[in-house]
Amino acid sequence: MTVFSADIQRSFLGRLSNIFALTGGFVMLGIAAVTVASIIGRTTIGQSIEGDYEITEMGLAMAVFLFLPVCYVRNGHVIVDLFTAHCKKSTLQTLDITADIVFTVTAFVFAYQMSLSGLEAKDYLEQSMLLELPTWWTFIVGVTSMTLCGLCGLYKLFAAFLGGANE
């Protein structure tokens, strides 16, 4: 018999979030390599990598979205506890649940709106200026990551309402 675990980091969604973050790290390494190669080429032979700014822009956008789910799973978001430092544990749990509800709804709304924007970018054949890369590719990563964030939020809410720790 499988028992539901309140620990999201050990769940399938937590492991998937880690894979997303690892992928984001590899994207960042690729961007760093392109940037270094472009700078070395510019200073030594006077020729940089064409479209290096476009690659950096699109890659960073994808990397940021890939890091969001693991940041949420690990509670890596900014918490200002100036007003809540002396609150009771029940008050803090209520605030955490409220924040999880707001985050989950926001993540799903972002995913929906980004899917519409991505489809529109694809329909209008929107592309980068120099390399002519389709811009809708970045929307796929954003929609997928925001959907995963929303699913992680649902998991945390489900765990909280089943009596698990919302940590």
> What is the rounded average pLDDT of the residues 71-82?
83
Comparing 61 with 81, which gets the higher pLDDT?
61
- How far, in Å, CA of 22 to CA of 48, rounded? 28
Would you list the domain boundaries of the chain? Answer: 8-161
**Structure pTM?**
0.86
Per-residue pLDDT band for 75 (boundaries 50, 70, 90) equals: confident
Q: Which tens digits make up the pLDDT trace of 100-127?
A: 999 999 999 999 999 999 999 999 999 9
> What is the rounded average pLDDT of the residues 90-102?
91
The amino acid present at 129, given as its one-letter code, is: M
Q: Which tens digits make up the pLDDT trace of 1-10?
A: 455 566 777 7
> What is the rounded average pLDDT of the residues 131-150?
95
pLDDT above 90 (res 92): no
Secondary structure (H, E, C), 9-46: HHCHHHHHHHHHHHHHHHHHHHHHHHHHHHHHHHHHCC
